[in-house]
Structure 1
Amino acid sequence: MDVPAAHSTTAFPTFTEALDRAAARRTAPAVATGAQEWTWADLRDQAGRTAAVLHRHGLRRGDVLATQLPNGWELLVLHAATARLGVVMLPLHGGYREHEVQSLIGQAGAVALVAQGSYRGRDRVAEILAVRDRCPSLAQVWLSGDPRGGDLTSSAELLSQEPAGGLPAAGRDPDAPLLLLASSGTTSKRPKLCVHGHRGLLGNAAAVAADGGLGATDTIVSASPLSHAFGMLSVHLALVTGGAVGLCDGWSPRRFLELLTAVSATAAFAVPAQLRDLLAEVDGGTDARPPATLREVRTGGAPVSRDLAEHVRRAFGARVIVQWGMTEVGAGTYTRPGDPPELTATVGRPVSGGAVRVVGPDGVPVAPGETGDLQYRSPYLFREYYRAPEATRAAFTTDGWLRTGDLAALRPDGAVSYRGRADEVINRGGLKFSGLEVEELLADLPQLAQHAVVAQPDERLGQRSCLVAALREGAELTLDEVTAHLSGKGLATFKLPERLVVLDRLPTTVTGKIARARLRDMVPAAKTAEARR
C-alpha cells in the first residue's frame, strides 16, 4: 500500500547509489568500531562480494534475509549487500529468544538467517537450530562465530574475498523495500513488521541532517542497536552526508564513552535510561569522559525531564536534541539546535516535510494546549505492515494521516508536548489522567532505578493507579513516601498512586523503553503496598 500523499516523486538515490556517492566523496575512514575502521569504498566493495555469495545461494530480489547480530561490520555489510541485491533485510533484536525469532521469521517468510552463536555469554546454537527446524521457509542459516555444536555454516563465507560476479543489475527504484523493522512492542505483545523503502529511510535521514546541521565532518555513534530505527538512523545519517559512523556492539557506559573518544564523535544517540547510566559513570569520579569533539546528544523513546537535559548539557558540554519517533515513522519530530533549552520539555517540531495534528474523539483538530490523539504525516513513513493489509488500512485515516496511538498537545509555536500513549490513560471513576504525567514527577525520586505508572482494574472505580518500581541498590521506598513526594509537587489527589509494586527489574525493550504489555502481566501477582482513597 502506498500511503496517500506520502511519497514524493522527486528523484532520490537508492541505498547502493548513496553508498557509491559517499565512497566518491570521502576517502578517509567512515565506519569504525574503536578497534577497526573502514572506508565507504571498503563497504561498497565488500557488499558486492557478499551480494554475489548470497546470489549463489539462491537469494533473489524480494526475498527476506533475517539477521540477529550485534552492531558491527558484518551487519553493516549485510545491510549494504541485501540493498545491492534487492533482498529485504529483517534485523532482529539481540535479546530475542527462540520464540520471538521463530515468530518473526514466520511472519516474514524469511528464506535465510545470519545469527550470532552466543549472546551475553549465553550459547544459543541450540536455539538457532530449533528455529531452522521449525521455520519451513528457511533455506539457509549462517552462524556468525565458530559453528561448532551444530551443522551450521559459518558466516565467514559471506565476507569472502572472492571477486564479485554473476550479479543482476542493481535496482534503481527508491521506493522498493529495503528493510523490515519490527515495532518495539511496548504496549502490544506481538510486534508488527514495518516495510521501509530506500526513499523513506534515506530521505528521513537527509531531512534530519538538514534540520540539525549535520554534515560530512560529523561522526555519529548510537547506543541503540541497528535492529531499531533509532540505531539505523545513525548509519543512514552518515551515509547521506558522507560523514562517518561509530558502531557500538553492546551497552556498557564506559565502553560507549571510550568509543566516543576513539572515533572523535561529534554526535551521540542514547535513550534517557542510557543517558542516566552515562551520567552515573561521568559523575562517579572515573576517568571516562565525553570527548571535547562532542557537540550534540540526541535522545528520545522515553520522557526527558528538564533536569536530565540540563545535567547532560553540563556534564557533556553538548546541546541536547529531544526526538519523538516510531518504527513506522523514523525521526518524526525533534527539537532544533537553535531552540532555547526549555523546549527540551517538548519533542520539538515535525521533520521538514512532515506534519502533525492533534484531534479529539470526533477527529476534529483540538485547540492549542488541549490534549488529543497525535496523528502524523510525512514523505518518509513506512510503506505498509508486511503481509497485513487490514492492519495497514486501520493505521491510517481516510485522508492519509497515521494514527500514532500517542497523546499530545500542540503549543502555539508549533512544538509538540508529548502526553504518553493513549492506552496509558488511567480512568479513575471518570476522572482521566496520563500515567506519564505522574512518572515525570517521580523522575527525581532518588530511590527509583526504573518506574512506570499503570492502570489496575478496580470493581468500584473501574481503574486505580499503580506505581511499579525497581529500586536502586540498598534503597527502600514506601507508598507514603511516594504520595508525599507527589503531593509536595501539587499533584491532584485522584492522580496519586494507590498501589506500589516493587520488582527486581522492569521489563524493557532493547532501547530501554518499559515494555508495558509484559509489565501488566507481571503486576497482579506481585507483592504490593496499597492505599485506598
Structure 2
Amino acid sequence: MECLAMPPGVPSTFTEALERAAAGRTGDAVWDGDRWHTWRDCLAQSERTAGVLHRAGLRAGDVLATQLPNCWELLVLHAATARLGVLLLPLHTAYRSHEVQSLVTQAGAVALVARGSHRGRSRVGELDGVRAACPSLRHVWVFAEAPEALPTEALCGSAELMPLEDPGVELPAPPRDPQAPLLLLASSGTTSRRPKLCVHRHAGLLGNAEAVAVDGDLDSTDTIVSASPLSHAFGLLSVHLAMVTGGAVGLFEGWNAQDFLTLLRGASATAAFAVPAQLRDLVSVLDRMPTAGTVLPALREVRTGGAPVSRELVDGIRRTLGTRVIVQWGMTEVGAGTYTRPDDPAELTATVGRPTSGAEVRIVDANGALAGAGTTGELQYRSPFMFSGYYRAAETTRDALTADGWLRTGDLAVLYPDGSVGYRGRADELINRGGLKFSALEVEELLNDLPQLAQHAVVAEPDPRLGQRSCLVVALRDGTGLTLDDVTGHLAGKGLATYKLPERLVVVDELPTTVTGKIARARLRAVSLSEAIR
C-alpha cells in the first residue's frame, strides 16, 4: 500500500492535511462534473475564499451553514472555514425553508451559502424568508443563475466567494489544535423531532478517514466517487479519504444511476460509495447491459451502508461489477463505525464487519449488563474519532454517553465470537405483538428476493388487544401485483414464525425516504394508518 499523505497516528488539522495532499499530488485530484482540479487548486482557492469570509467578519467559532450539492464550491468552503476556525454546517439540499430556518437558528449560524434553485425550482424567495426569520444571520450568499434577480439589499451574489485574485486580506494563523471543532452535522439517527447537531473535531474526522484507509487498503492510487451527499457523514468520508491518502475524489450531484456509471467510468474510479437503494438502481441498469462486467475496469470496491444490505444485493453487485463489497455501519455521531475488510470471506457481508481500528463495540442488555455472545442487545460504541458532543446541548450529550464514554447508539446488534457485528435494526423498529417481540428488519430481509417489490418496509400498528401488529408497506415494480397471501406464503416457506407474519398489506406508489435514502419510518407509519388495503 502507498504511504498515506498523513502519517498514521499523527493527529492533523484539515489545513495541514490539505497542505500535505497538495504537496504530494500535483496532478488531478477533484473531479467536479466537467473538469478536474488539483489539491493545490483547492488550497489556493480556499485561501482566497477565507479572505472574503474574514473580510465579512467571520471569526473562529462562528458557524457558516451551506446548502449546496456535492460540488467544487462546497469543498472549497469546507477548506476555507477550516482555515479560519469557522464551523461548517452542511445542510441537505432536499431541506425546505422550515428545516433550514430551524437548523440555522439552532446553530446560531452567522452566514448561509446556498444555491438559488433546486431541481428547477427557484429558492430565492425561501432564502430571503430564512434571512428575515433568523436574526443570527449576517450574510446570505446565493449561487444564482441570474444574480441580478436577487433582492440585493438582502441577499448577496456568491461570485465574490470564489475570487480569482487574492482579495488582499491578512488572515489569522490557521488553527493548529487537531482537537479543535471542525464542523457540525445534523444527526438523523435519533427519534427526536429536532435533529441534534454533532460537533466533530479535525482529528476525529481525519483520524477516522485514516483508519478506514489503512483497514480498507486504500491509498494515493485510488479515486473515490460517492453518491452520498457531503452533508452526510458517509459522503464526507469519501473526500476526507482522498485527502488523507493523497488520492482523488469525484463529486456527484443528485442521483441518477446511468449518470453515476458515466462518472465512475470518466473518473476511472477505483471505489464507489452508495447507499443500498442507489445500488439497487445501479444493479437494475447493469442487468440490462450485456457487457456489464467490463463497464468499469478500474473499479475494485463498492462501499455501502446507511440501511440494511441484503445478500441478494451483494450478489447483484458482484455479478454485474465483479468488485468486492464493503458493508459499513455508522452514525452521524461516529462516522464510519464498523465495516467488513477487503480480505474478509464473502459470508461476512451478512454482518456490518468489525470496529474501525482503534474503536470498540459492546452489546448490553436492558439492564445495562454485557450481553452474552450471540445475544441481541443495544450496540454501544467508543472511539477516539467520534463526535465530541452535541452543540450547545450538554445535558443531551451526557444522556447519550455512559460514564465511561460509550455512546448509546439505540441500535440493536449481536456480537459474534470473531468480533464481527450483526446489525438487528433500531430499538424503535421492534414490534411487540402480545408480548412477543421481533425486529421489522428480520422480516424485511426475508422479503428482499420477492420479485414484485421495488420498495418495502414493515412497521408496527397499534392494536387494542395485542398492543401492536405488523403492517407491510410496499411499492411494486411496474406491471406486477401482490396480495397479502403472496407475502405470508413466501415468508412461511422460509420458516418464519407465524406471529412475525405481516397482518396487513398497504400498496403505495412510493415509500417516503430521508434525504440519505433511508426509509422514513415515522412518515411511513402515518401512511400505513391512513391507506386502505388495495
Offset at residue 185 of structure 1 (A): 5.3
The one-letter code matched in structure 2 to 1:35 is D
Q: Residues 150-229 of structure 1 correspond to what in structure 2 (within 5 A)? A: 150-151=151-152, 152-164=155-167, 165-184=169-188, 187-229=191-233
Alpha-carbon distance between aligned partners in 1 of 2:408 and 2:189, rounded to the nearest angstrom? 16
The one-letter code matched in structure 1 to 2:424 is R
Change in 2 beyond 3 A, CA 1:186/1:511: farther
Q: Can you list the C-alpha shifts for 1:496-524, whole angstroms capped at 9, x where unaligned?
A: 00111122211111221111122223321
Greater shift, 268-277 or 183-192, is seen at 183-192
The one-letter code matched in structure 1 to 2:311 is R
Cα root mean square deviation, aligned: 1.4
SS at match of 1:376: strand
Q: Residues 12-411 of structure 1 correspond to what in structure 2 (within 5 A)? A: 12-146=11-145, 147=147, 148-151=149-152, 152-164=155-167, 165-184=169-188, 187-285=191-289, 290-411=295-416
Offset at residue 310 of structure 1 (A): 1.4
Aligned to 1:445: 450
Change in 2 beyond 3 A, CA 1:477/1:189: farther
| 2:312–2:448 contact (8 Å) kept in structure 1 | no
The one-letter code matched in structure 1 to 2:56 is H
Alpha-carbon distance between aligned partners in 1 of 2:130 and 2:79, rounded to the nearest angstrom? 25
Offset at residue 94 of structure 1 (A): 0.5
Please give the TM-score of this superposition, normalised by the length of structure 1: 0.96
| 1:188–1:517 contact (8 Å) kept in structure 2 | no
Change in 2 beyond 3 A, CA 1:408/1:284: same
Alpha-carbon distance between aligned partners in 2 of 1:473 and 1:57, rounded to the nearest angstrom? 53
Q: Can you list the C-alpha shifts for 1:77-109, whole angstroms capped at 9, x where unaligned?
A: 000000001100000001000110010001100
Aligned to 1:458: 463
Alpha-carbon distance between aligned partners in 2 of 1:11 and 1:420, rounded to the nearest angstrom? 35
SS at match of 2:89: strand
User: Of the candidates 470, 486, 499, which is equivalent to residue 504 of structure 2?
Assistant: 499
The one-letter code matched in structure 2 to 1:219 is T
Change in 2 beyond 3 A, CA 1:369/1:418: same
The one-letter code matched in structure 2 to 1:255 is D
Alpha-carbon distance between aligned partners in 2 of 1:393 and 1:186, rounded to the nearest angstrom? 15
| 1:92–1:101 contact (8 Å) kept in structure 2 | yes
Alpha-carbon distance between aligned partners in 2 of 1:489 and 1:138, rounded to the nearest angstrom? 57
Offset at residue 407 of structure 1 (A): 0.3
Alpha-carbon distance between aligned partners in 2 of 1:68 and 1:275, rounded to the nearest angstrom? 25
Offset at residue 474 of structure 1 (A): 2.5
Q: Can you list the C-alpha shifts for 1:258-302, whole angstroms capped at 9, x where unaligned?
A: 111111100000111100100111112388774100000000111
**Matched residues, percent identical?**
70
Alpha-carbon distance between aligned partners in 1 of 2:479 and 2:333, rounded to the nearest angstrom? 40
| 1:33–1:259 contact (8 Å) kept in structure 2 | no
Alpha-carbon distance between aligned partners in 2 of 1:20 and 1:403, rounded to the nearest angstrom? 36
Alpha-carbon distance between aligned partners in 1 of 2:210 and 2:68, rounded to the nearest angstrom? 26
User: Of the candidates 401, 406, 414, which is equivalent to residue 419 of structure 2?
Assistant: 414
Structure 2, unpaired ranges of 5+: 1-8
Alpha-carbon distance between aligned partners in 1 of 2:273 and 2:63, rounded to the nearest angstrom? 28
Alpha-carbon distance between aligned partners in 2 of 1:503 and 1:112, rounded to the nearest angstrom? 40
Offset at residue 525 of structure 1 (A): 1.2
Q: Residues 420-435 of structure 1 correspond to what in structure 2 (within 5 A)? A: 420-435=425-440
Alpha-carbon distance between aligned partners in 1 of 2:354 and 2:10, rounded to the nearest angstrom? 26
Change in 2 beyond 3 A, CA 1:132/1:353: same
Alpha-carbon distance between aligned partners in 2 of 1:279 and 1:150, rounded to the nearest angstrom? 45
The one-letter code matched in structure 1 to 2:489 is A
Offset at residue 303 of structure 1 (A): 1.1
Greater shift, 145-154 or 375-384, is seen at 145-154
| 2:471–2:528 contact (8 Å) kept in structure 1 | no
Alpha-carbon distance between aligned partners in 1 of 2:281 and 2:190, rounded to the nearest angstrom? 21
Structure 1, unpaired ranges of 5+: 1-9
Alpha-carbon distance between aligned partners in 2 of 1:314 and 1:198, rounded to the nearest angstrom? 39
Offset at residue 187 of structure 1 (A): 4.0
Offset at residue 528 of structure 1 (A): 2.4
Alpha-carbon distance between aligned partners in 2 of 1:309 and 1:34, rounded to the nearest angstrom? 28
SS at match of 1:524: helix
SS at match of 1:313: helix
Offset at residue 11 of structure 1 (A): 4.3
The one-letter code matched in structure 1 to 2:161 is L
SS at match of 2:495: coil
SS at match of 1:54: helix
Alpha-carbon distance between aligned partners in 2 of 1:344 and 1:352, rounded to the nearest angstrom? 18
1:520 aligns with 2:519: no
Q: Can you list the C-alpha shifts for 1:366-405, whole angstroms capped at 9, x where unaligned?
A: 1111101100001111011111111111101112100000
Alpha-carbon distance between aligned partners in 2 of 1:478 and 1:314, rounded to the nearest angstrom? 30
Offset at residue 111 of structure 1 (A): 0.4
Alpha-carbon distance between aligned partners in 1 of 2:150 and 2:166, rounded to the nearest angstrom? 31
Please give the TM-score of this superposition, normalised by the length of structure 2: 0.95
Change in 2 beyond 3 A, CA 1:521/1:211: same
Greater shift, 394-403 or 146-155, is seen at 146-155
